[in-house]
Amino acid sequence: MGGMVVRLVAAVGLAALCFLGCAISSCDGQPDYRAALANSLLYFEGQRSGKLPPDQRVQWRGDSALADGRDHGVDLTGGYYDSGDNVKFGLPMAFTVTMLAWGAVEYARPLALAGELRHALGAVRWGADYLARAHTADETLYVQVGEGDSDHNCWQRPEDMDTLRTAYSVDASRPGSDVAAETAAALAAAAVAFRRLDRGYSAMLLQHAVQLFRFAENHRGLYHNSVPDAAKFYPSSGDEDELIWAAVWLFIATGGAEYKAFILGDGNASGVQSALSWDNKFLGAQALVAKLILDGKLPDAGNPAAMKRSLEQFLCDIAQHGGAADAKLSPGGMLWTQPWNNLQFVTSAAFVAAAHADHLAAARSSLQCAAAATLPPPQLLAFARSQADYILGANPGGMSYMVGYGDRYPARVHHRGASVPSIKYSPGKITCKGGFDYFSRSSPNPNVLVGAIVGGPDGNDRYNDSRGDFQQTEPSTVTVAPIVGVLARLLHNRGVLDAPPF
């Protein structure tokens, strides 16, 4: 453990290490959710772009991309790098902010009790500030900074970037209703998260969300057709999911009749989903609608009822109570969806399961599955716990897939900044091609990207700790954002939370 402590001190500084000792992984062999929660929020500081704030805890990072947006005369500094590269992609970033905000709304009390609410809201705000700045006019939204191909052809820490930082936008003539609606959802969710703590800020975010939803409704079209560079990296499969997702968040934020009417409209139910992801938000919308039905704010009829039934079938499937529709699990019990970054689907499914378990418990209800099987809230929460525990080391490999947690975790994460010496300790410029020398080394990364969750093992629980295996070793903000809420919930040992979140 001593070696790990030294590496963590270098990575995050002494102030962030209040969870050392038995807290790194609990002394009784059970996962230490408080330590994992603290780590997960540190990760977002490692992904920051722009001018870093005075309270930055991840000390191996420095300021980066300070001229973003200058080519268009706008300020596009800030926000998050999405994964192991240095491009800012608007669609996954907005989804990241939405899930972070949902976790902060749903689990504000356990986050506060863990001393992490301030950090969770700071993570939301860092992303929401950028998204609001990117919305430069009623019908103009910047949705990408940087060029994917030129960035991926280099292996540079963000502080050294000399690749193109082209800014791309959507507008009335070049629509992007999917990314506009997702950004509306993110800002509406963030507005809900802040409405009791900073009303002025919340109102500003909500104003942007309302305008963006109107823009998305009035100018339909997939954003990657307007920004072809995005099509190679984050293509969108449709905009219907983002529109209903945004409408639900705006209804939660405002109670507006127009958003309720959108939810009640025909054709938005979408059927049973297989995952919640940056490209498919139907499941998230279904979970929120089910909560609103249980609270009596939406009718258990028509489109809302269909959405609720679809959510329930998904939850029965992943909990292995769906009959022939049971979701696939690895031999070690991990929810299995696809080889590339499978853990993104694990964390989002765990979040939905945990949240709906609490919604059912508050309503004194249970889930009814196939063959009249009853799935009570504790059993649904147990599924979420099993997936979090798998990530934290309860798996056949005995490895934590959260970097910096436990005694054994991925050491060769596919991440430019983490794999190249920190600019704080090696200030000489590392060139575009020169960085590949560090990429090809077999030694562990010099910087520990605390809290990152890698793509994860394959369907047979096998993991290859190699920088070149990006499908398994690259972390992403969309993977970590949902687990913040899951870990906060697992710290709360009572069956029902004290107060409804909205």
Mapping DSSP onto H, E and C, the string for 42-71 reads HHHHHCECECCCCCCCCCCCCCECCCCCHH
Amino acid found at 309: R
Give the residue carrying structure tokens 């290859």.
464
Task: Compute the distance between CA of residue 219 and CA of residue 137 in angstroms, rounded to an integer.
Answer: 14
pTM to 2 decimal places = 0.94
pLDDT at 473: 98
Closest CA relative to residue 127, chosen from 88, 165, 175, 72: 88
Kindly give the interhelix angle for 282-294 and 90-106, rounded to the nearest 10 degrees: 20
Task: Compute the distance between CA of residue 17 and CA of residue 280 in angstroms, rounded to an integer.
Answer: 36
pLDDT at 499: 52
Neighbours of 6 (CB within 10 A): 10
DSSP state, residue 80? B
Q: Do residues 43 and 483 make contact, with C-beta atoms less than 8 angstroms apart?
A: no
Segment holding 167, helix H or strand E: strand 167-171
- At residue 99, the 3 state secondary structure works out as helix
Contacts of 477 (CB under 8 A, 6+ apart): 43, 44, 47, 80, 82, 83, 92, 93, 96
Neighbours of 15 (CB within 10 A): 9
Q: Do residues 294 and 365 make contact, with C-beta atoms less than 8 angstroms apart?
A: yes
Write out the two tokens for 3.
């070696």
Q: Do residues 380 and 315 make contact, with C-beta atoms less than 8 angstroms apart?
A: yes
CA–chain centroid gap for 83, Å, is: 11
pLDDT at 13: 34
Neighbours of 408 (CB within 10 A): 14
DSSP state, residue 168? E
Give yes or no: 219 in active site: no
Backbone angles phi, psi at 271, to 5 degrees: 85, -175
- Name the stretches of the chain with pLDDT < 50: 1-25, 27, 495
Residues in the chain: 502
Q: Do residues 46 and 58 make contact, with C-beta atoms less than 8 angstroms apart?
A: yes
Task: Name residue 80's beta-bridge partners.
Answer: 48
Write out the two tokens for 115.
């001393």
Write out the two tokens for 155.
């292996």
At CB < 8 A and 24+ separation, what contacts does 301-310 make? 302/264, 302/266, 303/263, 303/264, 303/265, 303/266, 303/267, 303/268, 303/269, 304/263, 304/264, 306/269, 307/268, 307/269, 307/270, 310/269, 310/270, 310/271, 310/272, 310/273, 310/282, 310/286
Residue 332 exposure: Cα atoms within 13 Å on the Cβ side: 22
Among candidate residues 135, 208, 414, 492, the one labeled active-site is 414
